[in-house]
Amino acid sequence: MRTKVKICLVGGEDAHKRIPLAQRLMQNGFDVTIIGSADYTYPKQIRYLKYALNRKLNPISDIHTLWFYNRYFRNEKFDIVQTFDTKPAFLVPLALKSANTKIVRTITGLGTIFMSNGPKNRILRKVHASFHRLVRNRVTHTTFQNKQDRDFFLNKHLVNETNSSLIYGSGIELDVYTGSHKKQSETFTFCCVARLVYEKGVINYLEAARICSDQGYKFKFLLIGPLEENSKRLNQQILEEYSEYVEWLGPRTDIPHWLQISSAFVLPTYREGFSRVLLEACATGIPSITTKVPGCQEIIRDRKEGILVDVDNSNQLAEAMILLARDKGLYDSCAANAKVHVEQFSIDKISKDYMQLYFSCLAMKSSNGKEVLTKAEYL
C-alpha cells in the first residue's frame, strides 16, 4: 500500500516562513512536520515542535541541539529531513550520520562571517567549511538560493554538480500582497525592513536619510525590525541620534501593511542568501533600492525593478533615493516590472521545484524498501 511521504522541515527562529511550502506539500500528499526555535501560531493542520537553537557559535548549546536532533529523529522516522538554516545544515547531518533518512539542505545564505575579512571571520570560515566537509557524504542533496553561494561550496569541494542545485527562495504567496495605496501627492516614503545588525547596512540607511534631509528633500523614512546588535557600530543610542530623520518602528508582524503605505523599499545589505523582503516589496508593486550583492541582484535588476548601489556607500544610496523619488517615469517603470518579475518566485512555482527535488531524492535506492510516492506519480 502506498504511504505518504513523511518530511520534516528544520529551521530556526524564522521556521514559520516555510508554512506556505508546508501547505503546498500537504496538498500534494506529504505528511509535514516543522521544527523551529521560536514561538509562533501555526495552522492547526501543521505539526510544529519548538526546540533550542543558538544562532551564534556556542559549543555547549550546539551539543545540546545535536542531542535533541539525535533523540528526536531516532524516535520520529521521516523519509526526508529538509534543513533551512545555517546551523541545522551541518548539525542535522552530524546527528543523523547512522540513519537512513534522506537529508536535503537549503543554504539560505553564508552568514555574517562572509561579510568581512577580519582575522576572526577568516577562522570562522575555516570552521564552517570543516563542518560541511565532515558531513558532505551524509547529505543527499544541497540546494542554494544564489549562484555565488553554490560556487563557494563547489570550489571548496563541499558539494558537486550532481548533488547540488539552485532554487531561488522558498516561494512567496503573491495574493497576500496588493498594490501600493500610496498617492503621488503624499510624502514620498522609504521603508527598510531587516534585522538591525550592522551588516544589513542600517547605518547607511540612516546616513542616507540625513543626507537627503540636508539637501532639502522632505522624504519620510521608516525602519522596521528588531535591534539585534549592541556595539560601537550599531546600538540603541545611534538609532536615537538619527530619530530626527528615521522613524524606527521596532519589530512588526504586519509588514504587508507598511509596504502598502510606502513609496519604495530600501535594503542596503552587505550580503544575502535570497532576500524574501525584496520579493515582498516587488509583490506589493513598489520599486526597491538595494546593493549589488548575491541574494539581491537576482531579484532587483538595475533600472528594471529598482536601483542597485555599491555596498557601504551612503552617498550613492541617497542619490538613488532622490532619483527614484524625482523621476516618475523610472519609478512607474520599476514598479510595473517588479510586479511581473516576482511571479517567477511564487510559492506555486518554488513548491513544485522542491517536490520534484524530493521525488528525485526518494527515487534513489532506499535501504528500508519503504514504498513512497514517486516523481512519475506526482507529475
Q: For 266-275, how does the pLDDT look when each residue is reduced to its tens digit (9 = 90+)?
A: 999 998 888 9
Mean pLDDT of the chain: 89
Query: 306: burial class by Cβ within 10 Å (0-12, 13-18, 19+)?
Result: buried
Does residue 94 have a pLDDT over 90? yes
Least confident residue range of 61-65, 106-110, 348-352:
106-110
Our CA angle for 59, 92, 366, nearest 5°, is: 155
The answer to whether the CB of 144 falls within 8 A of the CB of 150 is: yes
Highest mean pLDDT among 59-63, 135-139, 202-206: 202-206
Give this prediction's pTM.
0.84
Q: For 233-277, how does the pLDDT look when each residue is reduced to its tens digit (9 = 90+)?
A: 999 999 999 999 999 999 998 999 999 999 999 999 998 888 999
The answer to whether the CB of 364 falls within 8 A of the CB of 101 is: no
Does residue 1 have a pLDDT over 70? no
Q: Mean pLDDT across the stretch 56-69?
A: 90
Q: Mean pLDDT across the stretch 160-166?
A: 94
Does residue 175 have a pLDDT over 60? yes
DSSP 89-145: HHHHHHHTTT---EEEEEE----GGGS---HHHHHHHHHHHHHHHHHTTT-SEEEES
Buried b (16+ CB within 10 A) or exposed e, 235-267: eeebbeebeebbebeeeeeebeebbbebbbbbb
Helices (H), strands (E): how many in the chain? 13, 13
Does residue 185 have a pLDDT over 80? no
Does residue 26 have a pLDDT over 50? yes
At 177, the pLDDT band (50, 70, 90 cuts) reads: confident
Highest mean pLDDT among 147-156, 204-213, 362-371: 204-213
At 85, the pLDDT band (50, 70, 90 cuts) reads: confident
Does residue 173 have a pLDDT over 70? yes
Paired with 32 in beta bridges are 7
The residue among 272, 264, 260 whose CA lies nearest residue 192 is 264
| Domains identified in the chain and CATH numbers | 5-171+346-378 (3.40.50.2000), 174-344 (3.40.50.2000)
Backbone φ and ψ for 322, nearest 5 degrees, come out as -65, -40
3-state SS assignment for residue 25 = helix
The one-letter amino acid at 167:
I
